[in-house]
Amino acid sequence: MILILWYLAFLSPTFALVGAIFLYRQHCLARPKHRISALIYAAIILICAAVAYFFGMIFGIDYACSPPAGNLCGLAGVFIIGPLVSAGAILLIGSLILLLPRDK
């Protein structure tokens, strides 16, 4: 089970990048006159991803370092939970931007 989480965490930036590009393309098709520029879109997504990584890392360390844990328990928060939560935040924010009203 932990090996699957390592693989998902390793591949999560790739999935998030592909998802963000796809969601931005859908946003541009839905709102051609009032679209968000790519630089602003990238800044919004990167800021939200950094905040999500920070809180995911804290939660992951707190969860993994329960009393019977070993010395390296904090690595699970840094290398597994943090990247997964960050990738999820990228996809969530891209989906929320996609929900902006369409041009008529």
- pTM of the full structure: 0.90
What are the residue boundaries of the structural domains of the chain, listed by start? 36-104
* Residue found by looking up tokens 């998802």 in the block: 19
Mean pLDDT of 53-76: 89
Q: What is the pLDDT of residues 77-95, one digit of tens each?
A: 999 999 999 999 999 999 9
* Encoded tokens for 57: 């890392």
As a whole number, the mean pLDDT across the chain is 92
Single-letter code of the amino acid located at 92 = L
- How far from chain centre, in Å, is Cα 2? 20
Which pLDDT belongs to residue 58?
95
- Three-class secondary structure assignment of the chain: CHHHHHHHHHHHHHHHHHHHHHHHHHHHHHCCCCCCCHHHHHHHHHHHHHHHHHHHHHHHHHHHCCCCCCCCCHHHHHHHHHHHHHHHHHHHHHHHHHCCCCCC
